[in-house]
Structures are given as C-alpha cells and as structure tokens.
Amino acid sequence: MIVNRKWMWPLLGAVALLQSAALFEMVYERHSLLKSGRELTLAVRPLDPRDLFRGDYVTLGYDISRLSKSNTETDPEFSGFIRGGDAFVTLSPKPDGGWTQTHIGSVYPTKVAPGDIVLKGLVQSIWPGQTGGDTTVNLRYGIEQYFVPEGTGRALEDQVRTHKIEAIVAVGSDGTAALKGLVVDGERHEDPPLL
C-alpha cells in the first residue's frame, strides 16, 4: 500500500500526537496519585543484601509481598488467584503504628473499614501447600524499586543495611500504589515531583 505524500505528514503528526498524549496521561496519573493518594508507610526489608543496588535504584521487599493462607483472613478457600492476575490486600492500622494485612482476595473487597487501605497487587506466583497445606501467593505492587540520584546509591545502600527503613507509599481509591520516597531513621527522603 502506497500512502499519498499529501497525507504522509499529517498522518505522522497524528501518530506523534497520540503517542505524546498517552505519555502525558501516564505521567499525569502518577503525579495525581502521588499528590492526592492516601499515604502510608511500610517497613522495608532488602531482598538481597549482597546485590541491593543495580544501577541507581534500590530493590525493596515487604512483608505483604508474600502472603499465606494461614496468616491472613482470605476470601473463601484462598482461591481465584491466577499468575499475572490481580490480588487485593486489605491493610489495617496497628494500635502501636504500622500496618497488618487482614484480607486478601482476587477482587476488590465489597466492605472496607474506614481506617483500612486496600492495595492492588499483581500475582507473581502461587505455591500450593503439600497435601492440602498452606498456599502462598507472591505479589508485586509496583513499589519494589526506588530510584536514587546518580552517585548516591552507595550511601543509601549502607543506610538500608544498618538502619530502620520505611517506604512512603501513596495509594489511590482503586488500590493502585506509587512509591513516594523513603524514611531512613525518621528522616524523610521524597522523590522530586514529576511535573
């Protein structure tokens, strides 16, 4: 098919405009989530202390990244999860601070207590227990990597290994989460704004 030269430049311009609009929408949605999402802090544990940094980001792990049927209230039979599918984890505030998971399901819960927060995760793997034992679900929330300014990774790496670290997370009404920054020994380190 030969495209008439008369239509080639307007067609290329329309394609470029659509791509720019899609990119702007992604940046705007993340910016809106960071600005207006409900904020919580989650305790962080490094996934691999020997290889914590790869380039200029740190890989973070959370207690809520691996959930078992035995340690959380669940939907019936801890079922409905498929690899690559959604999982919704309800977090309730602890009296002494922090959060604890109280529910996990494959659909957004119909009832959420006023103080609770629901996080939307992606199922990475499902490990059925042996002979009807405990089933485990591994999840990712999109908050597992924290990018750091170039050249500052080593200093933060030392702090992650030797200090108390918490992740500052913004959560939207649909459970989508975005990592805003880190709290290192009570000192807040936030990402610069996107816009």
Query: Which pTM does this prediction carry?
Result: 0.76
Residues 77 and 100 in one domain: yes
176 and 131 in a common domain? no
What would the mean pLDDT of 9-35 be, rounded to a whole number?
79
User: 147 and 56: one domain?
Assistant: yes
Q: Of the candidates 102, 120, 140, which is a domain's last residue? A: 140
Position 121 confidence tier, pLDDT thresholds 50, 70, 90: very high
pLDDT top residue among 29 and 154: 29
Q: Are residues 146 and 132 in the same domain?
A: no
Residues 80 and 128 in one domain: yes
Please give the pLDDT value at position 191: 64
Domain boundary among 113, 140, 167: 140
Is residue 78 domain-shared with residue 130, that is, in the same domain? Answer: yes
Q: Are residues 76 and 165 in the same domain?
A: no
161 plus 183 within the same structural domain: yes
**Number of structural domains the chain divides into:** 2
Is a pLDDT exceeding 90 seen at residue 84? yes
List all residues 6 or more positions away from 9 whose beta carbon is below 8 Å from its beta carbon: none
The residue type of 127 is W
The backbone torsions φ and ψ at residue 163, rounded to the nearest 5 degrees and listed phi first, read -125, 170
| 120 and 148 part of one domain | no
Return the higher-pLDDT residue of 98 and 33. 98
- Which two three-digit tokens encode residue 146? 């924290």
Same-domain check for residues 58 and 68: no
CB-based contact 87:123 (threshold 8 Å): yes
CA–CA separation, 175 and 12 (whole Å): 37
DSSP label of 98: S
pLDDT at 88: 94
User: Phi and psi (nearest 5°) for 164?
Assistant: -80, 125
Residues 131 and 147 in one domain: no
Task: Flag whether 46 is in a domain.
Answer: yes
Give a yes or no: residue 3 inside a domain: no
Does residue 193 lie within any of the structural domains? yes
Of 115, 140, 165, which residue constitutes the final position of a domain? 140
Instruction: Confirm whether 101 is domain-assigned.
Output: yes
Whether 158 and 116 map to the same domain: the answer is no
Domain that holds residue 21: 9-62+142-195
